[in-house]
A and B are shown apart, each in its own frame.
Chain A
Amino acid sequence: NAGVTQTPKFQVLKTGQSMTLQCAQDMNHNSMYWYRQDPGMGLRLIYYSASEGTTDKGEVPNGYNVSRLNKREFSLRLESAAPSQTSVYFCASSEGWGSDNEQFFGPGTRLTVL
């Protein structure tokens, strides 16, 4: 049981380049999330998918797109990377939707945009 896995672990991009961050969970969870973590700040929700087939914007969605490929996988795409998107990105999943459902986090992707 790997839990939540993310690829890549590290990435360096030039301004304007695009890339997709991959996330997969093997816990048969219905809900998945993408967060970013910046120094001195708490995690901020970018997008979430309450269930397979649905996605919604979180607190900071600008510059990102997501795809819930299937129940296991939830990807985050940066179409045209900007230095302000330098951050650590975490994917999370939970069995259901709502505060009673514990979120399980992946190990993170450390992204630098030059």
Chain B
Amino acid sequence: GQQLNQSPQSMFIQEGEDVSMNCTSSSIFNTWLWYKQDPGEGPVLLIALYKAGELTSNGRLTAQFGITRKDSFLNISASIPSDVGIYFCAGQPLRVSYDKVIFGPGTSLSVIP
């Protein structure tokens, strides 16, 4: 079946550093979603992208919908300790069918104060 790959799998950074992570697929997606999961909690939607090339920001977070429609990127600027968690990308090959949502395995982020 379809799979999403996320890299890196985990990362340890110093507080204040910028972070970049990406998500790739062998298939074309119409929607890219980025979620964050805090320890012991459910995922929370950070950013949704709907068009190839789209660049969207949410505070210190910026995400881009790759022009090939097979990848997406998430950047976090000036990291802080509360950025710790697992970041998931999710892609949807169809705009109206959630039964086609594919989630990536996640990137685990640790921030060293």
Contact = CB atoms under 8 A, between A and B. Distances in A.
Contacts of B96: 97-99
Contacts of A102: 45, 48
Nearest to B99: A58
A107 B40 contact: yes
A74 interface: no
B58 to A, nearest CB: 13
Contacts of B103: 42-44
Contact of B105 (A31, A33, A40, A58): A40
What interface size band does chain B fall in? 20 to 34
Nearest to A47: B99
Interface residues of A, number: 27
Interface string A80-114: 00000000001010100111101101111000000
A98 B30 CA distance: 12
Interface string B29-61: 011000000001111110010100000000000
A99 B30 contact: yes
B90 to A, nearest CB: 7
Interface of B: 1, 4, 30-31, 40-45, 48, 50, 88, 90, 92, 94-99, 101-106
